[in-house]
Structure 1
């Protein structure tokens, strides 16, 4: 990048809202230094003092908008056309291999003509740097937006959720959520639910946390106060579907004995698939059963490649660690006591900058450079430089405590750690699935009528999601599912199960398990699958790793078919669960392999950039009549359109 004393002056006000110019390879300035630099630039431009603006070709650089794995996005001024633009520039270290990809991306974007797709002005090269000059889209932080008068409209609120989902959340379901979540939370409060701000979600009830997880008591009271039959030790295995309508389910108890449940409607509230991964916040029952049963019954899943992941301790207890509003000097160290974060950063990005970006969100996301902090933590462990608990050390002793509440300190002390002297052992965990069973506005499958889904089982979120929407969404769509399911069930007579259908769904499989005389118990397979999926799917993935994950899935299917050992009755249950996890693992890995871009929580090291021209689209996963997996691209938001308005500056946004 060069400067030229004969550069034409910028029009008055051109820098009023801009960051100060900074070199592509410079370490970001502190806030006071940036303001001082900005003042000097103003003086140079408007008072004739000798500090010309930096340039890239004919473009005058006004400041950096963001950094990614491949390049930097700059705010710039085009003096030829007298307008501000966004300038995407490749890092020198990757330009040799990825310049043509950037050109293809620009050509693809240039072919799109839609008011909600950013306009490409030109693609070119200046001073050895490949760039795309694009329309500059400006916005404000969510905190600023919430303080506007009059209050934001429902359309504006929905747009925030679409921004969080990077264009892939369901706009109709987002509208329902916006309209109904307030009443849903009021219902919870009336039932006795207590909410505490700045609370770590995974903390169990204790004297320090004052029994915050009273949801169990509320759930018990609701069951006792209604005509609800609870089947203890019952494990559903497949859904009964007749002529496209769900009529109930089959399953086995903990002793391996089969049973049938006839129903006018079925609501899947089975949670997610956290137990697919070695490190997860999910309870043991979250084995993806709802996803797998729905998919085998013909209901499509969508957005399964998007999973919320975040930092947590691995020892001596498992607890979220949030770095909101915290920047360095917290320290990340490997088992040898070496600070490693800088080793994973692209050219032009500093440790200070990546920690500032991470201070805006807990979840793993490639929407900004914070992804490199998460890559670094997991990368050290995969490289063999982690602790015996698959972690790196986090030193919070010298940190100004932003979001981390006092109750976190108390909880750690309860588990033998003093954060003023002790190091935390932290690693990336699976938190939630952003995708799930595709539902309509009644929370019903649009393909299998009478099948409903809510909570994490239902899919309506996008590539990232805002914090708190899982709880609110479970209540909004749970209410809708229950209301419509009751209506459907009243109008639908129960049907008897044909013996051939029972044999197809459960009888033959159970018979094979009774006859199994192999060496592999299903519990052994579970641990191996968890390790492989954590290694290959979380945080950072590429084609090679995803294919390795698929190879593990294939090997385990073969083991269940040819080498299964049923040593005790409960092994029947574990074998059925393993089948479900393998089905869901295949859906996730297949969708992740198909999406050859990086977007939100889905980061592909071999495709590190977002590709709006080819991948502003959802992926639907289903089974055909022969039981083969089918993947289909369709953008559910196409009629409305979507335009990326930049980083979501929400504290916290996820």
Structure 2
């Protein structure tokens, strides 16, 4: 059994110590609520466990909601648009968010995100964060430092090295949570409201740009508590150099004249292109399209890379080779080259091994404008913790800003809810039910370490739920999930406190993997970053609607919801507009 049981009572419990979670805790405390911030690691640290994706965030200044009022750089190409006011820039930003969301973005949440851009910028600058309007910057680090300083001026109770494992519900409301600390002690949090800011599902993939504690925990806990989730099939894949790095620095290396080669040294992209499409066209589009999307011909580069890898023709580290050594290759990105040069990589001298890597998920608990889920007392916020403001694709640079907007709103409303509603004593059976999964681990005396099973699951997801998907691939993933649950999990070895936490993470990863697999299988079309090899075309007639998922007695219940039924393809809106850092042609 866990070493001991501790109980903590609070008005608001915030789960997750990244930008959204820290901001939610800050605003909750400022609203007068007793607030606890639970962090799976060290608060305001970066790298392993701590500040989450925010701490390693790379964001374009202009797309971080913060536009230069004079030029709008880099969202707007002034040569294309001419003089334009800040109000016009913000309206265009909203229209482009809706356009790239392809009918899967919630217009109400997108409007909130844009309308609160300028006030958020002003607040952050008052805290001493310098927003650069003319180049890429690592905004995540100074943002987290500023938020940390603000938290220190409040009475927020920061609980470090605590993994929240389950939410507590009673009479249909969220009334707290349970978790374990790194010493193996169980903790019960009795709360008037809970705010989930735990990040997305990047940890399901072998290659991703997130710290290893971002595994979809919040998605799984919200599902188990009865909340509706949405858009779980959507997300972004960028390109990572190998060995893996912490942010998508290689995305700007796709240049006209480059060549993709497999591990045998053979160029392969031309063999995967349909008639009338050339490698030059693909690379020209990919130069300004850093992420994988089905929206244009840039998709063929990622699809070809994945096919070569799955065919067993990968390079030494499991990727493919991007050859930029030909003197005809022009205009390499100073950002990517500078970053790689610091690590002794010269892409002009030798081919660079690359691989598709998970950047962010667009799905999560469905929220309203205040971060409320459909479970009273349960909130979610952040660029990946909650679904709604982004859709099938997203504008680059909005994740950090989204975390501030909806972290602020969720924290304030959670404080209001908690202080306006009396906290009843929790029945013993509610607490016992919450602790059941933690205590069940004590009976495990097998030989398999949880971290090894997590690694196995990541391999399967990385093969079958990557940029290429199909019904057969989803079936393989679901079979793996069932086998791990039924056969492998009972043979786990819980030998030390961290094994307990990793086992709980594994359970959450299995739940989220099942959700993603089932929504991917249900969406029989290709849209945004979701590509079905067996349904390669976008089907607006049948699929101009989001897929929802919630827990019912018989398991996962999938449904549909039309968020933006009047959406129409307006590619003219993207002309001259930055799409995740590059200018659309």
Task: Provide TM-score, normalisation by structure 2.
Answer: 0.81
Q: Is the 8 A contact 2:255 2:332 kept in 1?
A: no
Conserved in 1, the CA contact under 8 Å of 2:197 and 2:385? Answer: yes
Equivalent residue runs for 1:353-364 within 5 Å:
353-364=281-292
User: Match for residue 324 of structure 2?
Assistant: 396
Residues in 1 aligned to 2:555 and 2:435: alpha-carbon distance in whole angstroms: 18
Given candidates 152, 167, 171, the residue that maps to 1:243 is 171
User: Aligned runs of 1:73-92 on 2, under 5 Å?
Assistant: none
Kindly provide the CA deviation profile for residues 102-158 of structure 1, in whole angstroms up to 9, marking residues without a partner as x: xxxxxxxxxxxxxxxxxxxxxxxxxxxxxxxxxxxxxxx964775465663866543
Specify the alignment match of 1:629 in structure 2.
Answer: 556
Q: Which has the higher contact order (CA 8 A, sep 6+)?
A: 2
Q: Report 1:477-492 matches (<5 A).
A: 477-492=406-421
* In structure 2, distance between residues paired with 1:651 and 1:356: 16
| Cross-structure match for 2:404 | 475
Number of the residue aligned with 2:23: none
Q: In 2 relative to 1, CA 357–409 (structure 1 residues): closer, same or farther, beyond 3 Å? A: closer
Does 1:175 find its partner at 2:130? no
**TM-superposition CA deviations, 1:312-362 (whole Å, max 9, x none):** 112274542455596421222222221111011112211111112212211
Partner of 1:646: 571
- The range that moved more, 462-471 or 382-391, is 382-391
8 Å contact kept, 2:340–2:346? yes
Residue 616 of structure 1: how far off its partner (Å): 0.6
| Structure 1 position 233, deviation (Å) | 1.6
Deviation at 1:161, TM superposition (A): 1.2
Take 2:157 and 2:124, find their aligned partners in 1: how far apart are those partners?
22
CA distance in 2, matches of 1:160, 1:320: 22
Q: Following the alignment from structure 1 to structure 2, what is the Cα–Cα distance between the partners of residues 200 and 451?
A: 32
| Larger-gyration structure (1/2) | 1
Structure 1 match to 2:505: 577
Retained in 2: the 8 A contact 1:236–1:251?
A: yes
Tell me how many residue pairs correspond in the alignment: 501
Give the corresponding residue for 1:164.
100
Describe the shift of the 1:212–1:572 C-alpha distance in structure 2 as closer, same or farther (beyond 3 A).
Answer: closer
Q: What's 1:520 paired with?
A: 448
Contact 2:293/2:393 (8 A) holds in 1: yes
> 1:420 maps to what in 2?
348
1:503 aligns with 2:429: no
Q: Distance in 2 between matches of 1:558 and 1:179?
A: 48
1:567 and 2:495 aligned: yes
Matched, 1:193 2:129: yes
User: Helix, strand or coil: the match of 1:295?
Assistant: helix
Deviation at 1:608, TM superposition (A): 0.3
Q: Deviations over 1:203-223 (max 9, x none)?
A: 7xxxxxxx9723342232122
Q: What is the CA–CA distance in structure 1 between the aligned matches of 2:448 and 2:348, rounded to whole Å?
A: 47
Corresponding residue for 2:72? none
Q: Distance in 1 between matches of 2:103 and 2:80?
A: 19
Cα distance in 1, alignment partners of residues 499 and 460 from structure 2: 22
Distance apart, 1:469 and its partner CA? 1.2
Per the TM alignment, residue 492 of structure 1 is displaced from its structure 2 partner at its CA by 2.2
In structure 2, relative to structure 1, the CA distance for the partners of 1:560 and 1:146 (3 Å cut) is farther
Matches within 5 A, 1:547-562: 547-559=475-487, 561-562=489-490
Alignment gaps of 5+ in structure 2: 1-74, 581-585
Residues of 2 paired with 1:427 and 1:452: CA distance? 31
Corresponding residue for 2:517?
A: 589
Please state whether the residue corresponding to 1:480 is helix, strand or coil: helix
Task: Map residues 228-377 of structure 1 onto 2, 5 A cutoff.
Answer: 228-315=156-243, 317-324=245-252, 327-377=255-305
Shift of 1:511: 3.0
Other structure's SS at 1:621 match:
strand
* Partner SS state of residue 575, structure 1: helix
Gaps of 5+ in 1: 1-140, 204-210
- Deviation of the 1:518 alpha carbon: 2.3
- Cα distance in 2 between the residues matched to 1:483 and 1:598: 38
Q: Kindly state the Cα deviation for residue 254 of structure 1 after the two structures are TM-superposed.
A: 1.7
Measure the CA separation in 1 of the matches of 2:100 and 2:474.
26
Aligned-partner Cα distance in 2 for 1:348–1:561: 50
The one of 471, 475, 480 aligned to 1:543: 471
**Other-structure match for 1:136:** none
CA contact (8 A) 2:450 2:492 kept: yes
C-alpha contact 1:364 1:371 (8 A) present in aligned 2:
yes
CA shift, 1:198, in A, is 7.5
- Which residue among 221, 241, 264 is the counterpart of 2:149? 221
Q: Which residue of 2 aligns with 1:411?
A: 339
Q: Any idea what SS the aligned residue of 1:249 has?
A: strand
Secondary structure of the corresponding residue to residue 413 of structure 2:
helix
Contact 2:101 2:391 in 1 (8 A): yes
**For 2:571, what is the secondary structure of its paired residue?**
coil
| CA-based RMSD | 2.4
Helix, strand or coil at the partner of 2:370: coil
